[in-house]
Chains A and B, each alone.
Chain A
Amino acid sequence: MTVSEHGSALADQLAQWRAYLADRPGVSAGDVAEVESHLLDQIDDLSQRGLSDDEAFLVAVKRLGRQDALARDFAEAHSERLWKQLVLAGATDVPGEGLRGLAGALGFGLGLGLAIRLPFLWLSSDDLRPVVLVGVVGFLVLAGWYAWLRRTVRPGALALVGSVAAAGLLTAGLYPFREPRHTEVLLAIHLFLALWLAVGAVYLGRDWRSVRHRMDFVRFTGELVIYYVLIALGGGVLAGLTISIFAMIEVDLTTAVSEWIIPICAGAGVVVAGWLVEAKKNVVENMAPVLTAVFTPLCTVVVLSFLGTVLFTGRFVDLDRTVLIFFDLLVALVFGLLLFAISARDPLGPPRAYDWMQVILVAATLLVDVLVLAAMAGRIGEYGASPNKLAALGENVVLLVTLARSLQLYLGFLTGRRPFSDLEMWQCRYLPVFGVWAMVVVVVFPPLFRFA
């Protein structure tokens, strides 16, 4: 018996069943069609054994199991889809939701704001030690917030955050820095980068060891930055307004706003923005991929025209440290574009024109970067290394390696020799390298340059 021979009552039941399953988060239209075809096969089998349509439908649906459970299984296999929808089905008691979530976000936010503001009441700031201390405390509060949000924290993830924080505090506190203190500035910047990556392990909760889930943290970071910038813009406008209207009634709030409200809100904003990203995943299509799509073509044009100009005019002279830092920023930007494009892409989708544009952008950037690196290496050989030069060079090499390998894997995908997930997995596996490099700069650079 085929489906057309089944009655219309069955068609109605099927339609209801289909609509319910399609509504579950993490289930795509293709999944529903596939499971439906499975259900119909089962119904056909049962009908042939003499069951009525009704009975066959009931038995077949029963065998499929609860739709929630089925949808959950699908969602777990496709965590990227949830980013366009919402948290796992059935997980309605997630602490990040509802009033409790709001209270938690505000509580931790205020805690973070105070944690980074209050210490400056007692700390002098002739060097960067207070900044490092406050930054470490801030990241620890953030780690606590994610542990609370996930309701679970793996000892390994905590140990990771703890050891990075301890290494940072010990080196910043004990190293005898001297003018011009370049290595101290480098230490602070790189420590915060490493701490953020370590906090990612706490963010991932019970999946902290899963390589594939690292991409979720990348998505989260991208959205967090965008939300934070938007909130900061709004906050700035509101702060200005506040000062102005109170000035009209001759109350001067400038000090209160600039020394208290803004620093505390700047800290709280990190938590609130993160909470919004988690809670609102379903409301708006994610922003990072949209911005990526806008800036990939623009950035490609910039890099290609720069490359063309260099090759045409042969103008490639005054390469100093600042130039290299700008190139680091350019390469980091391209890396970011690539990363967010990868994180947003349907891993099973066929190659598209947009993929080719990514490849061209990465290839052109690599070419420019190799030219710069060669020039820079020559310069270091001639004048000796300074901490900033060497750090910039190291960053450049770390980015160059991942871009080169990504290009190779991307081409493999576009020519049909590899699945897209190879590229995704490479990016995920490579993420800790940034943390390791950052810690090298934190721990090894100061003694290497005699704390200058």
Chain B
Amino acid sequence: MRVVKDLVAASATPMVLGILAEGDNYGYAIIRRVAELSGGELEWSEGLLYPLLHRLERDGLVSSHWGVAETNRRRKYYHLTERGHDAVAEHRKQWDVVVEALRAVWPEPPTTPVVAGGQ
């Protein structure tokens, strides 16, 4: 299954913020975490992730620092700021609304068959 581009774009910010809420992290690992969380259905490109991280940093939702990885290489880590934590809560509220509404309008998934009205 391929998730459409618009949906990937719309969910990218809350996804990144959510992952950083788990703890500081770096780009490569964030992309892998996204794949893991979505069972491999979401494959992010670097062109999506890094500019997004920079935009979030500019808006003060995340901060960054260069550190040294276990491989002895320099690596840029991102950290969720206080403002970022607030943003996660806000995104969560909005997505809850959307998800609730979709749940309400869609019939039960086919795996649990719908019981016909008992007339």
Enumerate chain A interface residues (CB-CB to B < 8 A): 2-4, 30-31, 33-35, 37-38, 40-42, 44, 64-65, 69-70, 72-74, 76-78, 347-348, 418-422
In the complex, whether B59 has a CB less than 8 A from a CB of chain A is yes
| Contacts known (A41-B28, A348-B58, A419-B60); A70 close to B76, Cβ less than 8 A | no
Interface centre among A35, A44, A76 (most CB of B within 10 A): A35
Number of CB contacts from chain A to chain B under 8 A? 73
A47 vs B90: C-alpha distance when bound (angstroms): 41
User: Judging by beta carbons under 8 Å apart, are A73 and B47 in contact?
Assistant: yes
Residue of A nearest to B52 (CB): A77
In the complex, whether B75 has a CB less than 8 A from a CB of chain A is yes
Q: Chain B contacts of A44 at CB under 8 A?
A: 71
The distance from the CB of A11 to the nearest CB of chain B, in whole angstroms, is 13
Q: Chain B contacts of A73 at CB under 8 A?
A: 47-48, 50-51
Q: Chain B contacts of A72 at CB under 8 A?
A: 47
Q: Chain B contacts of A65 at CB under 8 A?
A: 45-47
User: Judging by beta carbons under 8 Å apart, are A2 and B46 in contact?
Assistant: no
In the complex, whether B2 has a CB less than 8 A from a CB of chain A is no
A40 vs B27: C-alpha distance when bound (angstroms): 12
User: Judging by beta carbons under 8 Å apart, are B73 and A77 in contact?
Assistant: no
In the complex, whether B119 has a CB less than 8 A from a CB of chain A is no
| Contacts known (A347-B58, A421-B58, A421-B59); A42 close to B28, Cβ less than 8 A | yes
The distance from the CB of A110 to the nearest CB of chain B, in whole angstroms, is 41
| Contacts known (A419-B59, A419-B60); A37 close to B74, Cβ less than 8 A | yes
A347 vs B27: C-alpha distance when bound (angstroms): 21
User: Judging by beta carbons under 8 Å apart, are A64 and B46 in contact?
Assistant: yes
Q: Chain B contacts of A76 at CB under 8 A?
A: 51
A348 vs B62: C-alpha distance when bound (angstroms): 11
Q: Chain A contacts of B50 at CB under 8 A?
A: 31, 34-35, 38, 73-74
The distance from the CB of A213 to the nearest CB of chain B, in whole angstroms, is 14
A422 vs B83: C-alpha distance when bound (angstroms): 12
A166 vs B72: C-alpha distance when bound (angstroms): 66
Q: Chain B contacts of A422 at CB under 8 A?
A: 60
Q: Chain B contacts of A64 at CB under 8 A?
A: 45-46
User: Judging by beta carbons under 8 Å apart, are A419 and B51 in contact?
Assistant: no
User: Judging by beta carbons under 8 Å apart, are A418 and B60 in contact?
Assistant: yes
